[in-house]
Structure 1
Amino acid sequence: MIGYEPPTALPRDLLDDSELRAALGAHDFGTVFRLARSRAGISYSRIAAECDIKPARVGTLARGQGRVTSFDKIARIADALRAPGHMVGLAPRPWEVVEAPAPLTSEKNGVTVRRRTFFEAATSTGLVATLPSIAKRDDAPKRLGTADVEALRTRTARLRRLDDVLGGGDTYRVYLGEYQHTKSLLRSASYSRTTGQELVSVLAEQAQQAGWAAFDAGKGADAAGLYKESHAAAGEAGNSALLGNSLAFLAYQTIAEDKAAAVRIASRSCETNTSGTPFRVRALLHERRAWACAVAGMQNETEKALAAAREALEESSDGEWQPDWAAWVDSTELDIMSGRCWTELRRPLRAVPILEQALARYDDAHARDKALYLSWLADAYLTAGEVEQAATVAARALDLSSGVASIRPRRRLAPVLEELSRHRGLAVVGDVLERARAQAG
């Protein structure tokens, strides 16, 4: 699960083939797909699924008809085939891990020093220079102390900022690398009991971040596994806030398959709240329970959970410490969640005003999230019978989601667009449907 490799990954001998290398360099993916099937036995249906391309289009490309030109599609294909970025004119992809072929050892002052080489995380948007280098960790300290753990926690917080502007398709391997590094420290370094407990707490936090990126990238099995590992680590560390958050993440992912189970898990997450739980964490757990209840159609429980979340935010006190992973929870976020809940409960008169006001305050720089939230506003307008306004909002969501390495905006917009298609006679609806088709490639 953690060492996931897509079933469409090309074997090394094929990647070394001159014909394939030339086709990749020319972005002639039709030839690439044909070679993948004939030389590696990779079916077109598998390629379509991993590359997020319609099966019919894969066949069309393989017959030499059409081209793939959009940046995000090229990056998606490179990731699915595990073709290194330089072969298709991209920066190194996040999954490109540089490892020593075997553990290297050297004798220094009578002590055997194990040297590790970690991957240099890169992203498809050219942020290589801004990422702290993971590859510069060859000489991890053998004895860890409080300062080392705090450095890891600070680094985790810095890398978390990538999620503000990038999708999980770009960040997953970065976060996964951090998690794996900390896990290796737990196995190989020495530390006091207190330091070890804090190190496991950092591991739980990193597992949640990696799990979230996996979920955002459409890697559901990876996400579930990481959330469960986070839950175990948070319990071992005695960190009730992270324990509750791991349950909230699991509930969020479970909703699509089992609404009742999601409500139960979300309720368990809220049970971890105590008088000492940071107020943003309490608010976060309550609002995620509200979401589970809303999707399950439980209006009264939704209202109670939203009220509890707002009460937690209103009880905040100046100077109270809050974990970085919950720093984004504020009144605007809660308003957006409230609007999403009312949309799910088919109460557009309550959903539209609060979403309109909150999204007016929400920066477009958070493109993935704003696109997602706009999809609920469009949905609410449809429920209210305001088709033209729904189409206008959906178009805005499409614009924001373009090029973002996340499957969730388009997945969330799909039923909205399907509903809009019943009104394709309206000019504004026709325009947004055509825009959606063009983006789908």
Structure 2
Amino acid sequence: MRRREFFKASAGAGLAVGLPELAPLEAGPRIGRDLPVQLRMRTERLRRLDDILGGGDTYRVYLGEYQATKAVLRDGSYTDETGRSLLSVLAEQAQQAGWAAFDAGKSSDARSLYEASHLAATDAGDRVLAGNALAFLAYQQTSVNPQAGIDMAIESCRTAGAEAPSGVRALLHERLAWAYAVAGLASQTEQALRSAEDALSENDGLPQPDWAAWVDSRELQIMTGRCWTELRRPIRAVPVLESALARFDDAHARDKSLYLSCLATSCLAAGEVEQAATITTQVLELSAGVASVRPRQRIAPVLQELSAHRAVPAVAEAMDMAGV
């Protein structure tokens, strides 16, 4: 009970107050080709924060990095080649800041940053990053207008092109699969998932960008389970999600709680009320104090359905922890 009350108190008190601003890299009036390399390496290191923290913690840091690079582009002097490299870094930073904004519930800020990223990547001639910016926009658009989300996800794959690194193509086809799933299009979802799997199985020898390095077979399993959950196919979704999540570290609390919420949804769709309630309790425990709005948003429909089964002890525990 003490642990349960601690989680409630920490979530209510808003323990996630954000990280302090970081000291920017020094840049003189004449920018050399080494600065974009340093900025990209710094961006890669800071991206690791997203593995363990929510967007409410990281948004200000990522936005500060984006704004600092924007100031370098505005005020510095550099060659055309260096300028394109800086624009590519800027596009990458805008995507990271946009993702944190989305995770923190700042949808308008996220959309603006994704659009800025697409513009910067296009100006830099970086088709792969431009395609990923469109994929982010599609992911955000899907819940509002599924067809628009599908159209944008298709465009993201087309923009990145068949020559994009295999990990990038897998990531973009995963997001296309999700757009199809939200629209209820099962056969198209399956085809997009197969395309993602085919891309992952390739050994194209191309360097994979750091922002797509997390896409692997386990991630594809999770997306497959999420898609089948969205399509209300629990018999397909549950074993895939259970297998993938058995190897998922609790240290990645936000992501694991999000994926567990899909498992809870599918268990409930299969009529397994007690199992769904037990998983819901896990979601609430893992996400307590995490500065992300998404775990609670995803588990809310499950809690609403579980409320009809309060007599089941596991349900009562979950409802008590949720404070509903």
Equivalent runs, 1:311-326 vs 2, <5 Å: 311-317=198-204, 319-326=205-212
Instruction: Please give the alpha-carbon distance, in whole angstroms, between the structure 2 residues aligned to 1:349 and 1:147.
Output: 52
Secondary structure of the 1:144 match is: coil
Q: Which of residues 59, 68, 74 is equivalent to 2:13? A: 74
Equivalent runs, 1:83-94 vs 2, <5 Å: 93-94=18-19
Higher Cα Rg, which structure: 1
- Equivalent residue, structure 2, for 1:296: 183
- Equivalent residue, structure 2, for 1:413: 299
- Equivalent residue, structure 2, for 1:203: 90
Q: Which of residues 47, 52, 76 is equivalent to 1:160? A: 47
- Equivalent residue, structure 1, for 2:194: 307
- Equivalent residue, structure 1, for 2:317: 431
Q: Which of residues 343, 353, 363 is equivalent to 2:229? A: 343
**Code of the aligned partner of 2:111:** A
Instruction: Please give the alpha-carbon distance, in whole angstroms, between the structure 2 residues aligned to 1:378 and 1:74.
Output: 27
Instruction: Please give the alpha-carbon distance, in whole angstroms, between the structure 1 residues aligned to 2:112 and 2:293.
Output: 19
- Equivalent residue, structure 1, for 2:250: 364
Instruction: Please give the alpha-carbon distance, in whole angstroms, between the structure 2 residues aligned to 1:75 and 1:434.
Output: 19
Show CA shifts across 1:226-254 (max 9, x none): 00000111111111111111111001111
Quote the offset at 1:255 in angstroms: 1.6
TM-score by length of 2: 0.95
**Code of the aligned partner of 2:269:** T
- Equivalent residue, structure 2, for 1:256: 143
Q: Which of residues 271, 282, 291 is equivalent to 1:396? A: 282
The answer as to 2:70 corresponding to 1:183 is yes
- Equivalent residue, structure 2, for 1:87: none
The answer as to 2:273 corresponding to 1:334 is no
Instruction: Please give the alpha-carbon distance, in whole angstroms, between the structure 2 residues aligned to 1:275 and 1:257.
Output: 29
Secondary structure of the 2:159 match is: coil
Quote the offset at 1:364 in angstroms: 1.0
- Equivalent residue, structure 2, for 1:134: 23
Quote the offset at 1:320 in angstroms: 3.0
Show CA shifts across 1:17-45 (max 9, x none): xxxxxxxxxxxxxxxxxxxxxxxxxxxxx
- Equivalent residue, structure 1, for 2:101: 214
Instruction: Please give the alpha-carbon distance, in whole angstroms, between the structure 2 residues aligned to 1:72 and 1:159.
Output: 25
| Greater RCO (Cα-Cα under 8 Å, separation 6 or more) | 2
- Using the aligned pairs only, state the percent identity: 59
8 Å CA contact retained: 2:257, 2:287: yes
Secondary structure of the 2:323 match is: helix
Show CA shifts across 1:369-388 (max 9, x none): 00000000000001111111
Instruction: Please give the alpha-carbon distance, in whole angstroms, between the structure 1 residues aligned to 2:89 and 2:83.
Output: 10
8 Å CA contact retained: 2:128, 2:161: no
Q: Which of residues 132, 139, 157 is equivalent to 1:245? A: 132
Secondary structure of the 1:374 match is: helix
- Equivalent residue, structure 2, for 1:228: 115
Q: Aligned pair in 2 of structure 1 residues 75, 426: CA closer, same or farther (>3 Å)? A: closer
Q: Name the structure with the higher helix share.
A: 2
**Code of the aligned partner of 1:134:** A
Quote the offset at 1:142 in angstroms: 1.4
Q: Which of residues 134, 157, 160 is equivalent to 1:270? A: 157
Show CA shifts across 1:322-365 (max 9, x none): 10000100000000000000011111110000000001111111
**Code of the aligned partner of 1:255:** T
Instruction: Please give the alpha-carbon distance, in whole angstroms, between the structure 1 residues aligned to 2:11 and 2:323.
Output: 15
**Code of the aligned partner of 2:66:** Y
Q: Which of residues 17, 24, 31 is equivalent to 1:144? A: 31
Quote the offset at 1:73 in angstroms: 3.4
**Code of the aligned partner of 2:23:** I
8 Å CA contact retained: 2:258, 2:295: yes
Secondary structure of the 1:404 match is: coil
**Code of the aligned partner of 2:291:** A
Quote the offset at 1:273 in angstroms: 3.5
Consecutive unaligned residues of structure 2, counting only runs of 5 or more, are 1-7
Quote the offset at 1:424 in angstroms: 1.1
Quote the offset at 1:72 in angstroms: 4.1
Consecutive unaligned residues of structure 1, counting only runs of 5 or more, are 1-68, 80-92, 95-119, 122-132
**Code of the aligned partner of 2:255:** D
Instruction: Please give the alpha-carbon distance, in whole angstroms, between the structure 2 residues aligned to 1:396 and 1:328.
Output: 24
Instruction: Please give the alpha-carbon distance, in whole angstroms, between the structure 2 residues aligned to 1:386 and 1:337.
Output: 22
